[in-house]
Amino acid sequence: MPHAAINGQQIHYEDTGGDGPPVILGHGFLMDLTMFEHQVAALRDQYRVITWDERGFGRTVTDGAPFSYWDSAADCLGLLDHLGIDRAVVGGMSQGGYLSLRVALTAPDRVRALILLDSGAALDAPEKLAANQGMVDMWLAVGPVDELAQAVATIIIDDPVEDPKWIAKWQARPKESMAEPARCLLTRDDVSPRLGEITCPALVIHGTEDTAITMEHAEEMAAGLPGCGGVVKVSGAHAANLTNPDPVNAAILDFLAGLPA
């Protein structure tokens, strides 16, 4: 289980290695790098696939200080530095997409292309923000008790096999570990006005049953990215890449095969 000392954190990551073009993927809120197991399996024969645990999740050890998705973007770039990778396809699911957009804005010369899974660029509507804040407040007060954890799992995953696996992970962690990642999520800045600055090829995939980030947000993001040809719609909730991987993997492989060298 390799770790890299980056920006004061101990970032846990997995790297398939090899000589293929590198692809780095960042997970969604409350998830960890294992959510990409199907993508790693589909890509590893042709690509060097790096997955990593972001601050506050998985096996990454953080300093506990406040951070933003710009800091997470710096972590991603630092991990590429650590691995000796100058340029990569950068992608992620949900908050992994948030930080990937910021990687592209921070260091466009290092981003060959973007893969954005059930993500967006704009901020949540006030009523959605209030609902999310309420869930966070309850989590921090009493922890991910069964009813709350199942409600959150239904929003993110909505799968009878996967839901219990992730609920068990959440309930095994200190409830306080949610505080800084949640603050980062709920106070993030709006990068939608800057999408036109991101000119690399971009793939946007979105679950048709995603209620955490609406299809409208995905379509607005895709329309704002000059290198995106529209949204690839697949069946599934927020973590469609986990619960319905086949069409997601097919779209990713087709996109990667078509990238200029």
pLDDT in tens, 192-249: 999 999 999 999 999 999 999 999 999 999 999 999 999 999 999 999 999 999 999 9
Q: How far is CA 175 from its chain centroid? A: 21
Q: How far is CA 62 from its chain centroid? A: 18
Q: Name the pTM for this structure.
A: 0.97
Q: What's the total number of domains in the chain?
A: 1
- The closest of 211, 148, 154, 174 to 64, measured between CA atoms, is 174
Does residue 129 lie within any of the structural domains?
no
pLDDT (tens digit, 9 = 90+) per residue, 73-114? 999 999 999 999 999 999 999 999 999 999 999 999 999 999
Task: Judge contact between 92 and 178, C-beta under 8 A.
Answer: no
Does residue 181 lie within any of the structural domains?
no
Does residue 143 lie within any of the structural domains?
no
Report CA-CA distances (Å) from 97 to 8, 101, 110.
22, 6, 16
For residue 217, the one-letter residue type is: H
Cα–Cα distance for residue pair 70/17, rounded to 1 Å = 26
pLDDT at residue 116, as a whole number: 99
Q: Is the pLDDT of residue 1 over 90?
A: no
Does residue 233 lie within any of the structural domains?
yes
Does residue 144 lie within any of the structural domains?
no
pLDDT at residue 261, as a whole number: 80
CATH number at residue 210: 3.40.50.1820
Instruction: Report, as an integer, the average pLDDT of 58-72.
Output: 97
Does residue 55 lie within any of the structural domains?
yes
Does residue 201 lie within any of the structural domains?
yes
Does residue 179 lie within any of the structural domains?
no
pLDDT (tens digit, 9 = 90+) per residue, 122-134? 999 999 999 999 9
pLDDT at residue 177, as a whole number: 96
* Domain region containing 93: 3-121+191-257
